[in-house]
Every structure is written in C-alpha cells, then in structure tokens.
Structure 1
Amino acid sequence: MIIKLAPQDIRRYNWYIWRTVIGCLALFILLLIVTYFGLFGSLPTFRDLENPKSNQATEVLSSDKTVLGTYYIQNRSSVTFSQLSPNVVNALIATEDSRFYEHSGIDFQRVLSIPLLNLIGKKQGGSTITQQLAKNLFSGEVARNPFFRFTQKLKEWIIAVKLERRYTKQEIITMYLNTVDFGAYNTFGIKSAARTYFNVTPDKLSPDQAALLIGMVKGPGYYSPIRHPDRALNRRNLIMGLMNKQGFLSDGQLADLKQKPLNLNFNPISHNDGPAPYFRAVLKQEIQKLFRDLNIAKSDGTPYDLDRDGLKIYTTIDATMQQYAEEAQREYMPILQAQFNDQWKGVSRWKNVKNFKLLLDQGMYRSDRYKQLQAEGKSEDEIRQNFNTPDSLELFTWKGNVDTVMKPIDSIVYSKMMLRNAFMSMDPTTGYIKAWVGGTSFENFKYDQVKMGTRQVGSTAKPFTYAVAIENGISPCTEVENVPVTITGYGSEPWTPKQSMGDFIPGSITLRKALGYSQNYIAAYVMNEVKPVPVMELIKKMGITSNVPPYPSIALGVFDASVFDMAGAYSVFANHGTWTEPTFILRIEDKNGNVIYTHTPKVVQAMDEQTAYVMTYMLKGVIEDGTGSRLRYKYGLTNPIGGKTGTTQDNSDGWFMGITPQLVTGVWTGCEDRDIHFRSTRLGEGANSALPVFALFMKKVYDNPALGIKRNVDFDAPKNGLNITIDCDAYKQQQQGTGEVDKKLGF
C-alpha cells in the first residue's frame, strides 16, 4: 500500500529534516567554537605549534659523525624532508591520505564518505595525516570514553587546521614520520625504524622497505616483521598495491617487488648496544653534572632532559679506533681468561683467597637478586637459601651469554673470577680521547674502570720519580749500584722495597736500564735523592686527581689512580711537557642545532720540554730492551714507541702505558676484587695481562692509513737542543774525562 503525502506534509517533513541538519551543524559549529576557546581543555599555543613537544632521543656522535648511541625514553631521532626517501613519502600518502596535497587539514570529502563506505563493509578512517600528527603531538593516548574521544577529535581537527596554516605539506609529512611508533625496542620515528629494521638511513629505503615500515603504522605489534613476518609481508604487499594505484609504482615494479622476501637487517637498539657503551654511560653522567654546575638550561628555565630533548653531543671518540680497541679486547681477553682459569683449576678458593667468604657476601648484597628478595620481605635465612638453590641463570662468556642452571651463589663466584679490562687512548697534543673501553661487558658488568674506577698503579708510577731526577739535570746514563735501599723519616717504620729475584739485575746499571727492567731498588734510590714531595707535586701537575700521599712508596706506585688520569699523565711525556686535559666532549647542540656548550681543554706546563723528551727516550728503553720488549719480538712493533709495564702486589693489577707521538694509551687488567688475582707473576704481570691489548690495537691502527697515525714518526727533540747527555757512550767518556764516578745523584 502506497501512502501519498500531501504537498504541505512533504514541506513539513523537509523542514524537520533541514531543521535537524541545520541544528546538528549549528551544534557542531558551536562545539568547535567552545573547543577552540578551551571549554574541553586548552589547545596548543602558537609557540607550542612552532615547538611541538615530543620525546626525542639525544644522539652521541663520534668525531667522524657516526652515531655511537642514543639516550632516550622513546628511541626517536628526527630527520628533515631532504633526508627522506621519496618511497617513504609515497607509501605514506598512498596508505594514509591520498588527497593529502588537496585538503587543508580536514578532508571533508573523505569524512562524508565514511558512513556510506561503512554501510557496504569497507572500513575507512577519516583522519588525515595532519590530524594523525595532531594526535601524536598534542592529544596523547586515544580516550576510551566516547564523549571524551569526540572532544579529543574536535581538538585534533582544530589543531590540524592550525598546523596546516603554520607549516608546509613537506614539513607536516616530516613531522609525522618523526613521531610514529614502530614497535620494537621502543622505536619511534622513521630514522630509528630504518636503522633498527634495515640498518640504513631513511633516504636509502627502497619501495618494499618503505612499504613494510609504513604498513607497521597501523599496528606496530600486530604487523611486526619480527614476531609476525607473514602478516608483515601481506601488509607490505597491500601497501605496494596502493602505491601502484596512486601511480607511484608501475605494474612491473609491483610484480617484482611482491616476490622479494622481507630481507630484514634487524639491529635492535638498546642502551647496552652499540659501540662505547661504558663511555656513553659516563658521558651522560658528566653532561648532567655539567649542566647543573654551569646552569645550562632551556630558554624557559627548565633543565635539559637527555632522554627527551633531542640534543646532539659531538664527542672526540674516533669510531674506527673505538672499534679496534673493542676488537683488541675481545681478541686477547678470552686467551688471558683461559690462562687465569687454568691457574685456579682444582684450587680451593676458600683457602687460597683472602677473605673469600666476605667477598662472596659483598657480591651477594650488591646483587639485584638480593635487593629484589629483600624488597619482597624475605628474611636473611630465606635469601641465603634462595642463593643456594639451583636456578636458571644467564652467564657472560666471551662466546656470548649462555643459559645454565646453577646456584646463584655460584654465579657470584663465577663473576668474581672473571677478569676485567679497561682501555683508553688519546691524542696527547689536543687531549682528545679517541677510544674508551670501560670494561668487558656493559650488559653484565656496568662499572666503568676507565674514569670511575681507580686501582693501584704499580710500576707505571716509576717514570714520575725519574722525571724529577731528569728535571734536576741528571742523565739517564747515570749508573747506580743495584742494591737494597732503606728510607727513613717517613712514618714510624723504615721503608725497604722488595725486588723479585727473577727480574733482578745485579751490579751497577744506568737509570734508563733500571726503568726499562723495572728495578725497584734503583727507583727507591732515586726517590731517596729527589724526596717524595716534589714527586707528589709533579704527579698532581700531570693530572692525577686521586690521593697521592708524599711517602717514598709512591715511587713504586702504591697509590690508586684511574686509567683516565694515567693516560693523561703519560701524555705529558709525549706532548713536550704540557698536560692537556683529557677531553671527550667537543660541543653540545639542542634539537634545533643551536650550540649550548663548547668545551675548551685546560692546559698546564707540567715539566720542561727537555725533561719530557728525555723521558720518552727512557720509556723507549722499556720497549727496546726491557719489560715491554715483547711488543717488538712478539707483535712486530719496532717503530718508535715508549711504554711502561706495571704489576701490583700479588699480581692484583696489570698495567701497560704506551706512548707514541700521536697516541697515548692506558690499559689495565684485574679482577673485581684485588684479593682475587693471578697466582704467578709470569702471567699476572702487566707485560702479559695488559700489553697485548695495546699491541693488537696499535697494529690495527697502523694498518689503516686513513687514521693518520704514522708508524715511523719519532718524538720531537727540544728546539733549543739538550743540556742532558742521553748517549751513554758519550756520557761515559765525559765521566772518565772529568774523573767523576756516579756514587750519588748529587743534588
């Protein structure tokens, strides 16, 4: 039955419809107006739009602009439009907003078509790229409450229009791609995504790679190529199909690209990954302290946040040298660890390690496991029982971490018996640090041994005492009888150093030979002549920041110092007597490229140029015919190199300090606790435990001409010549001619 309406009824119903439409439109406009004026919460200001807030990772860059790592809450790094591959832009537009270049933030044609498309089963989102950007930057998480989501949507529309008025289309595309979440390991932004999934920069992304990443935007977890490769592949092909429809790919290109596998080069980025993790950890602490001490803050007075503010930190680290240093450690330390383990095989640690139970307890108390159990309210007895109950654990080995089942207390024993190693190399002229390896595994042993840790320096301190003698005009050719020396007047007991009889050289020998073979009696003799205070004062002028008591025993290195300070001190010998502060920060820029800090190294004239040069001659003696000679006969480094080995009491610490005109390097090896050490000096001495890491590093450096470190460059002699004779044959003739005999140094 058909009901025929009268004309007046039709007019009346049309009026109802139009009144409803007009009312809804008026209500919508009213809601937009009140939203604009902040009824549903404040909108971003003009300044906010010009400086949109996003958690942006701070980048740490090497001297050759390689990204060493990042500090982040969200692993996000920004790019400019010129750094984007056209494939990324095309994939984004084809997928998310095909009319992007035609609308002004809101695509009303698309909005009006949504109800019709949903009716026929084709789901389509109404948000343009600009609206999605507005949501990413200013709206936060999507509200679950329908009313709040509606008001949130109104805000996004208004912000989108504002963004379109403030920015170009290219800038909006770039900002959007810098804010998108790509899932794995907290990866945000196209730059981090390109590096994480394909290990390339965004400008190098191919069409299939771009399609995969853009496909993840809809659901980074659901379309993860790591967890769900089949879904990711189908989604990638769908995106490429859309690119084909938009004319960004030809039919032939689409067919070929669909046949390609995902071809991931997955490089998950975490704070533990990448080169120089110990350096980056120390760098972060140093910069935070620097900002506090110098009151460096943002324009609004709030402090910089390294995890959120997208700074760029330009460092002195050379990425290639850093790689060589880490490779040298990885190459030698497994060999040394095997030697160490063999010495302790079948030996009871309880009987042969002083205070071993105390060391285990300390290790237990410091462990995360102990703190967690304590936080759970476990008693001391329950915690100890837990540590003595086998459990699934992950252990560090030089072949990679391994899963095993063992008692947690035994894992502490295992950790205590692992050798640690630290390495730093620097340019003695500029003070620029080129390589920094603070430990053997940052993931497992977080403590940095380059700058944060100090250990007894042993015989590497002897050159400081000899330098005072040289500065007083004594020739390195001066001969001294190698006999025990007792020094009194410093403390209640006389001090008589010991000398290993295996290394002892009887008779009268020159100071150069005494240093080369690390003879304790003659070092003590020189100390008795020059006195402790001048030696202590020189050590402090050479940049040692730890406590150095003015006692005779500092001649043999009974004080503690860091690898950082020791490398800086030895740079004085290579740098004509000038101490240039070891430097690792060049400058810091904010996210807009404004320089907020520039570092200028401190410079101190620690000794005269002649003394420094004579000391390089003496230190070359260590390598030519002394305790460091294996550098020549085993590793083939016959070019001008000076150095000094160091071994502390009970072989607890092994040191090697190496100097060339262009690089000064410090290496330390030992266990976490000094009471755990090599059981023989043959293996525990610095010549075996530290020198080889230096040797392997230098061989790699010399073999790469691009680094500019030349083999056959010798130390520069003073411009005004020498007043001290270093030719020992000529010195003997002088002595015979004057009838003098070296009995005392005589000052």
Structure 2
Amino acid sequence: MFKEIHNKYLRYTAIFIYSILLFFCALQLNFLGLFGYSPSYKDIKAPTQSVGSELYTADGVLIGRYFKENRTPVAFDQIAPSVINALIATEDARFYKHMGIDFISLVSSGISTASGDKRGGSTITQQLAKNLYRTRYNKSQGVFKSIPVVSTIMSKLKEWMTAVKLEANYSKEEILTMYLNTVSFGNNAYGIKTAARTYFDKETNKLEVPESALLIGMLKATTLYNPTRNPERSVERRNVALSQMNKYGFINTQEYNRYKNTPLKLKEGLVDNNGDEDSYLRTAVAKYLEKWCDDNGYDLYEDGLKIYTTIDSKLQKYAEEAVNEQMKTLQKRFYNAWGKEEPWYDSENNKVDFPNRARQTLPIYAMLKKKYDNNQDSIDAYFDRKKKMTVFSWSGNRDTLFSTMDSIRYYGKILNAGMMTLDPFEGKIKVWVGGIDHEFFKYDHVNQSKRQAGSTFKPFAYLAALQSGLSPCDTFVDKPVSIAYQEKGKTEYWEPKNASYSNTYSNMSLRLAMARSVNTITAQVTEKVGSDNVVKWAHEVGIDSKLQSVPSVSLGPNDVSVYEMVRAYGTFLNNGIKTDPILVEKITDLDGNLIEEFKAKTKRVLTEEISWLMLYMLRGGMEEPGGTSQALWEWDLWKKNNQIGGKTGTSSDYVDAWYMGITKDLVTGVWVGCDERTAHFKNSETGEASRTALPIFAKFMEKVYHDETTGYTYGPFPKAKVKINIKYNCPTPRYVPDTTTQDSVAVDSVEQQEPVVEELDPLTPEQMELINQQQKKAGNPTTTPAAATPPISKKEERELKRKLRKEEKEKAKLDPPNNR
C-alpha cells in the first residue's frame, strides 16, 4: 500500500509511523509473549491498590487492621495544599502541562546525565504507572527480560504508554491523589495519610509546609532521608524541597528562609506498623472470615474492607481489666504457694520432669542429638547456655539473661486465661479475651485451647435427668457409690469421691446437689440416665468436641473449649434455642457500601419448659444454702433483686478452673490455668474455681453494672413463658454437723416460697433472720421482706454475707471443689 506514495520521503515516513504503531500494538497485546503484561483498558479504569482492611467493634471503635502495606487512602480535598505544591515543585514542575510524558524534562535529564549529573525525567504520572501496575517486574517483561538494555527500553515504553492512558482517563487531581495514596514513605507507611500519622501524628489536611516538604523530600530515597534514622540528611532533603517550592512560586523567599531553619518536630503516631502484631481478637476474626473471603473472592489484606465485629468495646475493656487484675493476683498466689518447689505433677501425684520433656519436643533437640552424636553433656550445655531475651512479666516486659531451659521453666509456671461473653438471643459475641498477652502467648484460650471442664459439665447430666422425666425436686442420697462399667471385656468399678472425701448420707434434691456440686449424686444421676444421654444432650445444646461416654463424663474429664461451653449455656438462656455465635456483624467497602451482613444460625433443641428449669437449677448455685456460686455475693451484684445463674468447675489436682455465669442478658465463660497441663495449684485454698475463675466473672459484671452506658442492668431472669408442669419448688434440707461422725445430718427442712422470679431472694430464712437482727441494731426494726434490699450499708452487707458464708460452710461441711 506504500507504493502509492510516490515521494520516497513521505513513503519512508509513513512506513516508519506504521511500524511504530504496529510495534506499540504488539507491545500492548504482548505479541507471542515477547513483551510481557501491559495494563488493559479495564485495568486502567479499575486500578488495583493494596489497601488494608480495618477492624471495628460493634460501636465503631477501630481495634485493628489487616495489611501487607500499611495504607489508608485519602481524598484529594483532605490533603493539605502544601503537600501537592511540594510534590509538583520537587517531582514534576510541568505536571499540569504534559499528557503523561514530559519530553522537555527527558531532554534535560539526558543532557544532565551526559554531563555527569544523573537525574531522572519521569513524571508523576509515569511513577504512578510504575507503582500501580509494576511495569518493571519480571512478570511484566516477557522474553526480553533477559536482554539488559532491551528489557529496560521495553519497560520504559510500557511505562509511557500506561502514563498516557492514565492521563486520558483521569483528571490531574485524581492522578495526584492516586499517586500520594500508593507511594511508600518508609517505616512501612504507604500513602500520605499513613505517613502523616506515622511521623507527625496528624491528619493529612493539618500538615504544615515544612512537614509536607519533609515527607515529599523522602520520596527520592526513603531510607537515606528517613527522619527517624537520618535526621540531618532528612532536614537537608527537606530544604531542597523547600527551595524548589520557592523556585516555582509556591512559597516566597521570606517563608523559605523561615521554614528551612525550622527544626524537626517528629511525633510518632499510633499506627499499627507491623501487620504481624496481632491481637487475639484480630486473629480470631481473620480465621472466622477465612472461608468467606475464599468463597467471595476477597483478600482481607488488600481489598480495603471495613469489618464490624459484634464486640462491645466497653464490655471488652471491662473483661480485659477483670482478667488482668485477677491474673496478677493469681500469679503471685501461685508463686507464693509453691515457693522453690516445682508445680509439675501427673494425675497420680507423681513428680514430672516437665522442662526436660518439653525440650525433647523441640525440633532443635533432634538436630543436636545428631550433631553431637547423642552426647548428652553437649546437648545440656547448649540448652543451658545463657542469652539475652525479653520475657513476659506482670510488671512489664523484662530483659534478662535466660537459657532455653530457664525459659521453659519460667513459662511453664505462667498462668493464662480465656474468657468469652455472648448475647445468645442475637448470637453476638460481646467479649473475646484469648489470653493474657498475645505478644508472648499466641495460643487462643477461647476457641483453640481445650481443657477439662470439671464440674461446669455437670449441668448436662442434670439436663439429661430433666429430659428423662426427673424433676429438680427428685432426691438422691449423698452416699458412697460404686458404678460398674466394661473395659476391654472386663467389669471395672468406678467409685467417685466428693472433694471432702466424706458423705452426708442425706437426701438432696437435684437442684441442691447441683448447687453444691456433689460428685456422688451427680454420678448416680449419670448412671440413672446413662452416660450416652449426657453426651447426647451436651452435643445437642452446643458442645462440638468429641466426648468419651464414660461413667465419669458428668464430672468433666473431656476437653472442651470456652467457646463451646458458652454456646451450650447460652441455649439455656435463649429459651432452648441453640445459637451458633457470630463474631462479625457486617462488612462494607471503603465507601461504606454494605457487602455482607451476618446472622446467627439457630435451632430449637430444648423446650421452653426444660430451658427455664435449667436456669432455675443454675440459680441454685447462689440461692441454695452452700451453693458453690455464693462467693459472688461478696461483689456488688445483689442490687435490684438481681439474679445470676452459674457453675464453678475445678478439674482434678486443681489444674483447670472454670466459671460459667449467666445473667438475664449475657452468658460468660472463664477458664484459668497453666498451658502446661502438669502444672497445677497446690491446694483448694489457692486453686478452687471460686477463688480463681469466679472472681473474674464477678469483677467483670460489677464493672458492667456500674457503667449505666453499657445498657446492661441488674434484674431477675424473666418469668417462664410457658406453664411449668414439672415440680420445682421443693424443700431444701438444712444440715448441722455431727460431732461423732464428722458428717452432716438433716434435721429439718425449710419450704421454698412459690418462685415468683422477680421477688426471689437468694438468702435462706436463717440468713434473713440474721439480717433482720442486724437491722434492728441499726434502728430499723421492720422485718425485711424476701424481695427487699436490706437497708444497711454496702460495706456492712458484704461483711455480713462473708460471715454468713463462713458459718454456712462450717455448718454444712461443704465439698471443696475438686471436680466441681
């Protein structure tokens, strides 16, 4: 077709232009894979920016971020004009005059380079093209990447093409905004908003001229001109940027002279500078959303999602405070109890060499055995070698000289905790405390850790009993029992003991037996209903873990998680409807557009009658004389006829301590113990659940009730919504100690009042009489009705209840909570 052009110069020019166009088409289309990837029109219209996702509580408090590059986008009108001016003056003075390629700057930089002053000629748009589409990465270079000069030319040409496309599709303001949102400012700060917060703890629109010049000046070399590492060079580079701003008329000479003498005024902002600095909650949400992200094509770390959890920031704060306060106390108590002794014993009370056993599980141990040809002295020397390390302590992270063995011994004695609070009516998790310090203890004690539940598992036996037709009033005798079972074709006998190793030989209602956590009666109930049924109903209401159907199943020998236990107890509060808890309520994009909303899945597994009776049974821990939850009355939890249901649980040898607490609104589970299972509390005085896990629940609820803004108030459980046909207001025996047998003997009974829920008081008539006597002494002769709040001071009330608890224990010879 070029033969029709008779003028050879025109013909050659046409051929040249045609060849150029053909070449650029081949470049764009990556002909035969020679040139590598070039961004398409679709890519240009929807540029991909790696934007971190943000994690919020249900009430809008930012609590974490997920990112590969720590970046938060900002709109153009939120950027200080001094930032824009500094950028244009320093990087691209003719930015508003070119269409992506500045040929004048190219010629100028070529001349400068030839004269020895190497200077770049890339425009802001070209730099944006390189940042957005990575035009110089191997995957973008095709076959020519192996040819040094050619590959550079190809990359540059694609950069030019992309810059022209960007200019054709975006305004100058949009290009500046995209550039400032994508560029790195060092210290893992990507984008101008993150940089402003990182270096000056300011919003982007509040940056002053010297600060803007410093940040823009860093772009030439973020490490060399980093103000935190090289402050002098950073100031020099800032002043170069200020000089350019003066040269192009963005600041006058007087301002330039003043700004260049301004000292650095860095102020480190509260920005998460490391995506690996997780919290338990942040990690739990990432795991929770893993499948959702895969199914819906989202990247949690790059797609700029806004994730709103179900967590209540106030409740979370109070839970963390309660855990920290109690765990500090418990750790001191633990150390004081053991002194210089080691706390590691097996279930047969045999001493365990935990440190040596633990080191043998380390991968390096096998390597050392091979390296030193099983020479134990050399292996010991390696593990006993001291080195500097930072360790966790309740007085703050501590720098010390520890060997590997020192570290194993030290951390083997550290107590940990897990805590979760659920609103079972909506299935929303309100509190998630996975441990005492995520920096040192990554293992989450809410849903990862599974431990023996102890007596917190007993309610499932009593649930099976109610389902089988028994009532809370049915009685069993607290006596020694021997239960036969088959093991490997042979008949064996299990003889459970109460923690006191004694029996009362008295009839106890199911409610009283559960309230006092009597092992022998629980074992009889389990035998009557069958261990398979206990396992069945535990699974029905929310336990997922595999449970061994053994005679002792109700005493909690199986490992379960805090998460499972809270879900299961939540079924009782939620009128028999099992709810699968949700941790995330909704997800939006950067602009607040709703992407996904989460609803809890529910299933009715109990009748309303049975679930109400289970709450009634659980209330017995506080309302029955000698109930294991009576320690709760030492806290400010009794106002306005408040009712609480709960169950303590202490596994054998005081290894695991649990408390499960239920109010009219919430269910909370708490576990306390060492991660090393052979470490245990020394005795009941230091290790029983009422002294370890229960106070965490008590402190938490006290803080919640005292803060009216939480919306959670004192009050009784709701009345039953259906008629209760099963007998439940039954006599509660009263006991006095027998001095000859050291057992307690039932001498009479006290009829319970018809349980009108709003008016039921947890104190027994004997206790009420003592309170009446106290009132008379205080000048209040009127008899206190069951529902009334005693008109004595809070301090006097607490002291009186402590006294009553002590007298009640002496009178009833309560079981110390081993397996209760």
TM-score bracket for this pair, using the shorter chain length: 0.7 to 0.9
SS in 2 for 1:706: helix
Output the CA distance in 2 between the equivalents of 1:85 and 1:713: 53
Task: Please name the residue that 1:488 is paired with.
Answer: 484
Output the CA distance in 1 between the equivalents of 2:395 and 2:353: 30
Shift of 1:27: 11
SS in 2 for 1:484: coil
Is 2:317 the counterpart of 1:317? no
Shift of 1:40: 4.4
Task: Please name the residue that 2:102 is paired with.
Answer: 107
Equivalences, count? 702
Shift of 1:595: 6.5
Question: Equivalent of 1:265, from 245, 264, 269?
Answer: 269
Task: Please name the residue that 2:738 is paired with.
Answer: none
1:682-712: CA deviation from partner (whole Å, max 9, x where unpaired): 211222222222233333333443332x222
Question: Equivalent of 1:654, from 657, 662, 667?
Answer: 657
Output the CA distance in 1 between the equivalents of 2:107 and 2:614: 84
User: More displaced, 386-395 or 117-126?
Assistant: 117-126
Output the CA distance in 2 between the equivalents of 1:135 and 1:355: 67
SS in 2 for 1:552: coil
Question: Equivalent of 2:405, from 409, 430, 455?
Answer: 409
Q: Which amino acid letter does the alignment assign opposite residue 722 of structure 2?
A: N
Output the CA distance in 2 between the equivalents of 1:352 and 1:553: 19
Task: Please name the residue that 2:446 is paired with.
Answer: 450
Output the CA distance in 2 between the equivalents of 1:119 and 1:376: 61
Task: Map 1:361-380 onto structure 2 (within 5 A).
Answer: 361-367=356-362, 370=365
Q: Which runs of no fewer than 5 residues in structure 2 stay unpaired?
A: 1-14, 138-144, 733-748, 754-820
Contact (CA 8 Å) 1:503, 1:517: kept in 2 or not?
no
Contact (CA 8 Å) 1:428, 1:661: kept in 2 or not?
no
User: More displaced, 102-111 or 328-337?
Assistant: 102-111
Output the CA distance in 2 between the equivalents of 1:241 and 1:115: 23
Q: Which amino acid letter does the alignment assign opposite residue 629 of structure 1?
A: Q
Output the CA distance in 1 between the equivalents of 2:85 and 2:720: 65
Task: Map 1:263-412 onto structure 2 (within 5 A).
Answer: 263-265=267-269, 267-273=271-277, 277-290=279-292, 296=295, 298=297, 304-348=298-342, 359-367=354-362, 370=365, 381=375, 382-412=378-408
User: More displaced, 468-477 or 315-324?
Assistant: 468-477
Output the CA distance in 1 between the equivalents of 2:35 and 2:216: 32
Q: Which amino acid letter does the alignment assign opposite residue 687 of structure 2?
A: G
Contact (CA 8 Å) 2:56, 2:309: kept in 1 or not?
yes
Output the CA distance in 1 between the equivalents of 2:115 and 2:708: 68
Quickly say closer, same or farther: Cα 1:501–1:312, change in 2 above 3 A: same
Shift of 1:241: 6.3
SS in 2 for 1:323: helix
User: More displaced, 573-582 or 386-395?
Assistant: 386-395
Quickly say closer, same or farther: Cα 1:76–1:483, change in 2 above 3 A: same
Contact (CA 8 Å) 2:588, 2:594: kept in 1 or not?
yes
Task: Please name the residue that 1:667 is paired with.
Answer: 670
Quickly say closer, same or farther: Cα 1:733–1:447, change in 2 above 3 A: closer
1:259-304: CA deviation from partner (whole Å, max 9, x where unpaired): 6722223544324536xx2233343344334556xxx254xxxxx5
SS in 2 for 1:488: strand
Is 2:56 the counterpart of 1:57? no
Contact (CA 8 Å) 1:211, 1:240: kept in 2 or not?
yes
Quickly say closer, same or farther: Cα 1:356–1:121, change in 2 above 3 A: farther
1:166-211: CA deviation from partner (whole Å, max 9, x where unpaired): 2233332232223222322x33233443454455655665655544
Is 2:483 the counterpart of 1:466? no
- Give the TM-score normalised by the residue count of structure 2: 0.75
Q: Which amino acid letter does the alignment assign opposite residue 628 of structure 1?
A: S
Q: Which amino acid letter does the alignment assign opposite residue 168 of structure 1?
A: S
Quickly say closer, same or farther: Cα 1:111–1:666, change in 2 above 3 A: same
1:65-90: CA deviation from partner (whole Å, max 9, x where unpaired): 44433334333344444555555445
Output the CA distance in 2 between the equivalents of 1:94 and 1:45: 31
Contact (CA 8 Å) 1:54, 1:308: kept in 2 or not?
yes
Q: Which amino acid letter does the alignment assign opposite residue 138 of structure 1?
A: Y
Task: Map 1:537-576 onto structure 2 (within 5 A).
Answer: 537-576=536-575
Quickly say closer, same or farther: Cα 1:723–1:116, change in 2 above 3 A: same
Quickly say closer, same or farther: Cα 1:37–1:538, change in 2 above 3 A: closer
RMSD: 4.0
Output the CA distance in 2 between the equivalents of 1:529 and 1:254: 92
Output the CA distance in 2 between the equivalents of 1:199 and 1:424: 34
Contact (CA 8 Å) 1:196, 1:267: kept in 2 or not?
yes
Contact (CA 8 Å) 1:272, 1:443: kept in 2 or not?
no
Task: Map 1:515-530 onto structure 2 (within 5 A).
Answer: 515-530=514-529
Shift of 1:456: 0.7
Task: Please name the residue that 2:716 is paired with.
Answer: 714
Shift of 1:544: 0.4
Output the CA distance in 1 between the equivalents of 2:203 and 2:111: 41
Contact (CA 8 Å) 1:198, 1:266: kept in 2 or not?
no
Task: Please name the residue that 2:221 is paired with.
Answer: 219
SS in 1 for 2:430: strand
SS in 2 for 1:521: helix
Is 2:635 the counterpart of 1:641? no
| Identity value in percent | 40
1:327-377: CA deviation from partner (whole Å, max 9, x where unpaired): 332222122111111222121467889676664345324547558x66996
Quickly say closer, same or farther: Cα 1:308–1:388, change in 2 above 3 A: same
User: More displaced, 487-496 or 111-120?
Assistant: 111-120
- Give the TM-score normalised by the residue count of structure 1: 0.82
Task: Map 1:16-27 onto structure 2 (within 5 A).
Answer: none
Output the CA distance in 1 between the equivalents of 2:534 and 2:300: 41
Shift of 1:477: 4.9
Q: Which amino acid letter does the alignment assign opposite residue 49 of structure 1?
A: I
Shift of 1:591: 7.3
Contact (CA 8 Å) 1:316, 1:432: kept in 2 or not?
yes
Question: Equivalent of 2:177, from 171, 174, 178?
Answer: 174
SS in 2 for 1:537: helix
User: More displaced, 24-33 or 636-645?
Assistant: 24-33
Q: Which amino acid letter does the alignment assign opposite residue 678 of structure 1?
A: F
User: More displaced, 336-345 or 318-327?
Assistant: 318-327
SS in 1 for 2:168: helix
Output the CA distance in 2 between the equivalents of 1:375 and 1:268: 41
Task: Map 1:84-233 onto structure 2 (within 5 A).
Answer: 84=79, 88-114=83-109, 125-139=120-134, 148-184=151-187, 186-198=188-200, 202=204, 209-233=211-235
Output the CA distance in 2 between the equivalents of 1:161 and 1:383: 65
Q: Which amino acid letter does the alignment assign opposite residue 105 of structure 1?
A: G
Task: Please name the residue that 1:742 is paired with.
Answer: none
Shift of 1:716: 1.7
Contact (CA 8 Å) 1:197, 1:266: kept in 2 or not?
no
Task: Map 1:247-262 onto structure 2 (within 5 A).
Answer: 255=258, 258=262, 261-262=265-266
Contact (CA 8 Å) 1:458, 1:646: kept in 2 or not?
yes
Contact (CA 8 Å) 1:637, 1:699: kept in 2 or not?
no
Quickly say closer, same or farther: Cα 1:28–1:402, change in 2 above 3 A: farther
Contact (CA 8 Å) 2:72, 2:194: kept in 1 or not?
yes
SS in 1 for 2:410: helix
Output the CA distance in 1 between the equivalents of 2:662 and 2:64: 29
Q: Which amino acid letter does the alignment assign opposite residue 190 of structure 1?
A: I
